[in-house]
Amino acid sequence: MRPIGQKRGLAPVIGTGALSAACGVGLLTTSGWLITRASQRPPVLSLGIAIGAVQAFSLGRGLARYVERIGVHRLSLRLLGKLRLRLFDVAVPLVPGAIGGNGTGGLLSGFVSGTEAVAEGYARATTAAVDVSASIVLGTAVAALMSPVLGVVLLGGALAVVAVAAALARWGRPVEQRAAAQRAELANAVVAAVRSAPELIAYGRQDLVEQALEQVRRRDAAASARRALAGGLARSATILAAGGAVVAVVGTGLAATDAHRLSGVMLAVVVFAALAVMDQCANLPGVFAANNAARAASARLRDLEGLEPAVREPERDLSAGAGPGSAELAGAETAAPGGTLILQGVSLSVGNGERVALVGPSGSGKTSAVHALLHFVACRRGQARLGGVDVSTMTREGIATLAGWVPEETHVFAASVAGNLRLARPSATGPECLAALDRVGLGPWSDGLPGGLATRLGAGGLPMSAGEQQRLGLARALLAGPSVLLLDEPTAHLDRATGDRVLQELLDAAGERSVLVVSHDQAISQHVDSVVALDGGRVARVSPGGRPGRSQRLAGTVAPGPSGC
Amino acid sequence: MPDATTPGAARPSGPIDRRLIKQLPGLKVSVAASVMVGLLATAGVAVQAVALAHLLAGAMPGAAAGGRGRWMVLFGVGVCVRAGVALVGEILAAASASRAVAVLRSRLVTAALGQAPTGGAGPGDDGRGRGWGPRLPKEPGVGPPGGPGDIATLAGRGLDALDVYVGRCLPDLVLAVAAPLALLLAVGVLDWLSALIMAVVVALFPVFGALVGRTTMPLARERWRQVEDLGRQIADVFEGLPVLRAFGRTADQRARMAKTNEALSQSSTRVLRVAFLSALVLDTLGSVSVALIAVPLGLRLVSGQASLPAALAVLIVAPEVFLPLRRASAEFHESTEGLAAAARALAIIGSAPDSQSRTGGVPLPGGSAAAGRGPVTRAGAGTRTAPPDPRRAAVELRSVTVELPGRELPLLRRASLNISPGETVVLVGPSGVGKSTVISLLLGFASPVEGEVAVGGEDLRRLDLASWRRLITYLPEHPTLLAASLADNLRLANPAAGEAELLRALAQAGAPDLMAGMGDGWATRLGDGGRPVSAGELQRIALARVFLRPRSLYLLDEPTVHLDQDSEAHVLQGLGQALGTSSALIVSHRPAVLRTADRAVTIRGGELVDASPDLLAAAPA
């Protein structure tokens, strides 16, 4: 992910940046000339132009810099916008199939802040590059006008300072990266220590919490000392190099005045030009450090870009041919991003109006089966079908009209209640939204909303319990009007009694829709027509469920065993 | 603590956060050290300027050419001082920041541990608070663990962001005043008229700053808010990406994001123009001061009223006067995130019972501990009496009321419960109703705003909590693992247990083969960075801890969750034996657990009511 393509708007930034640098060099050189020339007591009138120039430069410098800053910030904002969209494009095909299961949000938030680091690093690097190079060019030009040799010395000195700052920044980069990684690790250690605290206190072992914190403190102090050493060395070496460059200019200049090749006044002009250049170079270590951070973030974004999407989505949608209400896996085989097999030839079928439970220990492939049906992961062998049509021939929109998904931890967006629901069907009216909420048992909850359907939820909004979130997720899924519901551990975060009740209500709300419900709890069987038990990516057992009045009619519609492979 | 609940107030009003300095007594010393180092750098600048001025003046026709070597050396000294100071300053800043963050972190954790995990913030009461709930005084949008409202996250990454403020910004804020003063003094020695002009310009800055600030601040703040809002929206969108994708709504969302970006960059030019005005003032004053000094100096040189070396030296240092101020203002912008985290941490520290007990000793029921914050952990442990043994004394909740900030009705309202010696009580009820809060109350993690928790008739607040907890075996709803070996994880409950005992405890917990199945046996590392364990394994390890710790009162939160029916029966049988004459309060819904109970209670309308007849009857024998 390269922060390029910022040509539009760059020219004015370079122009104003160069102007501000020119004013900076001009201000110092003309003041230097003014003072040294004045000491020779010329007629005051002969200083008039210099006096005017000093004043003009002093005002022009601030103004030019102001315009430059605005330009750079606009560029960096535009870059940030582009990077965000690009991250969005990169991330969409990756979730939830290719990265993370349920913790995707946390993972991506790191990338989101990464885009900010890249944009900020870009702004700082651009400003510095313009300012430093313009000062070097102009300072060298002024010096060369006075004496070509001094021009060469100043140019050489300035380039040496840039080289030293760059080399030390490069040398410090791994130190910086290690320190950042360690810091993240230590932050996790703090989180773990704090989370375990109540249990440890109950066991009378709060000393373990204190110990853990003390260890973090010591390791953090060591890590930040190493980082400070690297950063401090870079700054100090840059100061030494800049000092050396000034000494070289002064030394060469003094030799030239001794040889009467240069007047004392002109020497002062050259030295002040050198000071103006070095003044800009002093910012280099900070700029390189920001650039390092931006590069690291940008490398991580590139890694993400390099990830293979879990599925290829077709251009044309063939979902129109799908019949109502069925979902099948036929000998489905799927693999994790690393290549490890997850589903190893799973066949199962949910007939129209049927309810099937998918049970099994964690890691047995339950969630992957659901993801295969939603075409979040591709089947390497076999097929996943909705309404009899292969899901790999459907677009996202097509799949969404057939299957409603309620993940284990559904996301409630920081938006209004209505906004959260209309995600599923933008045309849904207020009464339809309320009806959907009522259907999932959120009727009383929605009556109590302080702002009705406009009440804000999610981060910064009304807090919701896990049960309420799950129900909202289902209301959303129902609103889209799908004929198959895929419920992934809908009650995993609820206690048993609440879970039972919520599940019953969810299933009641599902009505005559076909349902595939994933659970780790065998007790689910009383709610369904049949139970498919997965183990190690294979169907271990298919047994009839205890759903009253249904089991007999529907017995036998479940494909037996792993027949597909 | 309105501070912590309104996000706007989470930022300090001035650039120097006094509460922070009060909490960190060592901070003054380290800031002073950094300021001294900074002043040394200023001295280096002055020395360099004087040396350079003399070198240049010496090159003028008619000047005495002597002493050139001396001035060259002096210039070199100035450069070396600045270089050395840059290195030392960096190290000082890092050390001071690291120390400050560590102190604040440990205060925060201590304060948070003392603070009641009340109500819905109790261990897992809303089903989401895995492990532990003491969150912020219920801020709107306090999310799941790992979210920004979570104390553990605040203590970890949150406080880490404070380092720029403590290490750099604070010293530079002091230097922004001290360094110009020092330079003014130096200039005054060389040329008092220039010093006077400089002083006027320096004095003008706050005036201009205030004038500009008054008009730009609201806009700058507004812009900051916009940018923050957008950042939050974007993070939210990314978090919900799988849901968007499943509903086929990613294209809409992308279009909306592009539009927002466009709108922001359209509006931004106007806002940036105003927001950067203060930087313009600072820059312009800086360069105008050079002109203001150079021109009179030149005119006075013509009339012979000033000396050339002094004039050159003054001209060279003039641009340095505003440098620390410029740095401080940039660093202050970088510090926003860390300062917000610090403000939240300070709000929690400030409300901790420790600071209350210093003034008033034991907070009385219904007293200052408004939100049900408790007199917990170690405050005043020495002055309290030893608790009676629950095997012989009843453990009671006497009309306790526990309020949950941000909730209209109290979580528990005059709820009473009596666990007689040797009795096993099972607590049932839907999630979020306050079951885990009852356990928190009995452990002394929470205390009621009204009523009392009593042991043998003694108010728990008057008892020594450490001794009280020594009488208890606690199984939390979401047990945690230490980053340590399997054996150490088990010995947490009983440090003296031998390997045979550990093995027996695992067997009682229904996991006789757990140790053998782990790569390195007892030494297998678990927890963060160690071998991952399944929910079932974790539950068995937690149960083994219970079996390793025979005590007088058992507080068990969903002990048989994640177990199959056979293991559950096995565990319950062992538990029955282990309980013996001890008392127990077990939160559970499993019929098998209910059958082991002497009676069952539930929470209805905030009150603890007897549920025995219907529930025990409903549990199939």
Calpha distance B352→B4 (Å, rounded): 13
Q: What is the pLDDT of residues B527-543, one digit of tens each?
A: 776 777 777 788 899 99
What is the extent of the structural domain holding B491?
481-550
Are residues B19 and B88 both part of a single domain? Answer: yes
B285 and B391 in a single domain? The answer is: no
Distances (CA, A) of B513 to A71, A516, B502, B559: 67, 34, 12, 20
| pLDDT, mean over chain B | 79
> How many structural domains compose chain B?
3
- For residues B425 and B598, is the Cβ–Cβ distance under 8 A? yes
Query: Please, is B303 exposed, middle or buried when counting C-beta atoms within 10 Å of its C-beta (0-12, 13-18, 19+)?
Result: exposed
Q: Residue B620 has what DSSP assignment?
A: -
Q: Which residues of B touch A458 (CB under 8 A)?
A: 141, 236
Inter-chain contact A264–B238, Cβ cutoff 8 Å?
Answer: no
Residue of A463, A470, A479 lying closest to A501 (CA atoms):
A470
- Whole-number pLDDT of residue B90: 92
B452 located within any domain: yes
**Mean pLDDT, residues B354-369:** 34
Segment A41-65 shows an average pLDDT of 92
- Look at residue A558 and give its three-state secondary structure: coil
Q: Which two tokens stand for residue B556?
A: 């068990």
Residue B129 lies in a domain: no
Q: In this complex, do B287 and A395 lie within 8 Å of one another by their Cβ atoms?
A: no
Q: Is the pLDDT of residue A553 over 50?
A: no
Contact between residue A210 and residue A217 where contact means Cβ atoms under 8 Å apart: no
Q: Which of B522, B519, B450, B446 is nearest to B484 (CA)?
A: B522
- DSSP for residue A381: E
Q: B413 and B397 in contact (C-beta within 8 Å)? A: no
Distance from CA of A496 to the nearest CA of B (A): 6
Q: Is the pLDDT of residue B45 over 90?
A: yes
Distance between CA atoms of A46 and A38, rounded to whole angstroms?
9
* Together in a domain, B555 and B545: no
- B382/B460: higher pLDDT: B460
Q: In sequence order, what are the beta bridge partners of A486?
A: A405, A516
| Same domain? B25 vs B59 | yes
Q: Are B241 and A192 within 8 A, CB to CB?
A: no
- Give the tokens for residue B145: 């663990």
Each residue's pLDDT tens digit, A305-331: 888 788 888 888 888 888 888 999 999
Interface of A with B in 249-278 (CB under 8 A): 250-251, 253-254, 257, 263-265, 267-268, 271, 275
Chain A partners within 8 Å of B156 (Cβ): 186-191, 194
Please say if the pLDDT value at position A302 is more than 50: yes
pLDDT digits (tens, 9 = 90+) for B168-204: 888 988 998 899 999 999 999 999 999 999 999 888 8
- The CATH number given to whatever domain includes residue B617 is 3.40.50.300
Q: Is it the case that residue B133 has pLDDT exceeding 50?
A: no
Residues in chain A within 8 Å Cβ distance of B284: 58-59, 61-63
Q: Following DSSP, what letter does each residue of A292-315 receive, concatenated?
A: HHHHHHHHHHHHHHHSPPS-PPPS
In a shared domain, residues B533 and B449: no
Chain A residues closer than 8 Å to B272 by CB? 69-70, 73-74
Interface test with chain A among B237, B285, B317, B539, by most A beta carbons within 10 Å: B237
In a domain, B600, yes or no: yes
R_g of chain A computed on alpha carbons:
34
Those residues whose C-beta lies under 8 Å from the C-beta of residue B464, and which sit 6 or more positions away, are B381, B382, B384, B385, B386, B387
Spatial separation of the C-alpha atoms in residues B437 and B372, rounded to whole Å: 11
Confirm whether B130 is domain-assigned: no
Question: Is residue B536, in this structure, part of any structural domain at all?
Answer: yes
Do B558 and B592 lie in one domain? The reply is: yes
- The answer to whether A130 and A14 have CB atoms below 8 angstroms apart is yes
Same domain, B286 and B418: no
Among residues B550, B567, B597, which one ends one of the domains?
B550
pLDDT at B145 > cutoff 60: no
Contact B302 A497 (CB under 8 A): no
Which residue in chain B has the smallest CA separation from A456? B141
Minimal C-alpha gap between B594 and chain A (Å): 13
Per-residue model confidence as pLDDT tens digits over A153-195? 999 999 999 999 999 999 988 888 888 788 777 877 787 777 7
Contacts of B480 in chain A (CB under 8 A): 192, 195-196, 199
pLDDT band at B125 (very low <50, low <70, confident <90, very high): very low
Torsion of CA B18, B23, B24, B27, to 10 degrees: 10
Kind and range of the H or E run holding A345: strand A341-350
**Span A225-238, pLDDT tens digits:** 998 999 999 999 99
DSSP-derived letter for residue B463 is B
> Cα-flanking dihedrals φ and ψ of residue B582, to 5°?
-75, 160
Task: In whole angstroms, give the CA distance from residue A155 to residue A139.
Answer: 8
- Residue whose entry in the numeric block shows the structure tokens 């949910």: A350
Are the beta carbons of B474 and A202 separated by less than 8 Å? yes
Same domain flag for B13 and B58: yes
* Chain B residue with Cα closest to A501: B430
pLDDT at B142: 30
Span of A400-404, A467-471, B214-218 with lowest mean pLDDT: B214-218
Q: Looking at B347, B381, B400, which one is the last position of a domain?
A: B347
Tell the residue number behind the tokens 């009223």, with chain if given.
B305
Q: How many CB pairs under 8 A join A and B?
A: 451
Domain assignment present for B356? no
The crossing angle, in degrees rounded to 10, of helices A264-281 and A104-146 is 170
Residues A90-133 have pLDDT tens digits of 888 887 766 654 444 456 767 877 888 888 888 888 888 899 99
Predicted confidence at residue A362, as pLDDT, reads: 66
Examine the domain organization and report whether B507 and B608 are in the same domain: no
Angle made by CA atoms B586, B588, B593, in degrees to the nearest 5 = 80
CA B620 to the chain's CA centroid: 48
CATH number of the domain enclosing B212: 1.20.1560.10
Residues counted in chain B? 621
Question: What Cα–Cα distance (Å) separates residue B467 from each residue in A203, A481, A488, B382, B386?
Answer: 11, 59, 45, 11, 7
Domains and CATH numbers, chain A: 10-306 (1.20.1560.10), 319-554 (3.40.50.300)
Contact B469 A116 (CB under 8 A): no
**Claim to verify: residue B439 and residue B541 sit in the same structural domain:** no
Mean pLDDT estimate for chain A: 85
- For range B396-411, the mean pLDDT: 77
**Which of A35, A66, A91 is closest, CB to CB, to B276?**
A66
Query: Looking at the complex, does the CB of residue A73 fall below 8 Å from at least one CB of chain B?
Result: yes
Q: Which residues of chain A make contact with B138, given a CB cutoff of 8 A?
A: 463
CA-to-CA distance for A565 and A410, rounded, in angstroms? Answer: 33
Task: Tell which wins on pLDDT, A74 or B144.
Answer: A74
Task: Give the list of residues 6+ apart from residue B368 with CB closer than 8 angstroms, or none.
Answer: B356, B360
Query: Alpha-carbon distance A511 to B136, whole Å?
Result: 41
Q: Which amino acid is at A2?
A: R
Mean pLDDT of B125-131: 32
Asked whether the predicted pLDDT for residue B242 surpasses 70, the reply is yes
3-state secondary structure of A109: helix
Q: Is there a single domain that holds both residue B396 and residue B520?
A: no
pLDDT tens-digit map of A201-227 = 888 887 888 888 888 888 888 888 998
Q: Lowest-confidence range among A42-51, A99-108, B446-455?
A: A99-108
Residue B359 lies in a domain: no
Q: Higher model confidence: residue B367 or residue B349?
A: B349
Rounded to a whole number, what is the distance in Å from the CA of A131 to chain B's nearest CA?
Answer: 15
Helix (H) or strand (E) holding B279: helix B277-302
Q: Is A95 on the interface with B (CB under 8 A)?
A: yes
The two tokens of residue A415 are 């938006």
Instruction: For residues A94 and A260, give the distance between their C-alpha atoms in angstroms, rounded to a whole number.
Output: 72
Q: Which two tokens stand for residue B498?
A: 């031998």
Q: CB–CB of B231 and A116 under 8 A?
A: yes
DSSP string, B258-274: HHHHHHHHHHHHHHHHH
Of B318, B347, B376, at which residue does a domain stop? B347
In a domain, B476, yes or no: no
A354 sits in the region (left: phi over 0; alpha: psi -120 to 50; else beta) called: beta
pLDDT tier at A29 (50, 70, 90 boundaries)? very high
Question: B149 and B280 share a domain?
Answer: yes
Average pLDDT over residues A267-274: 95
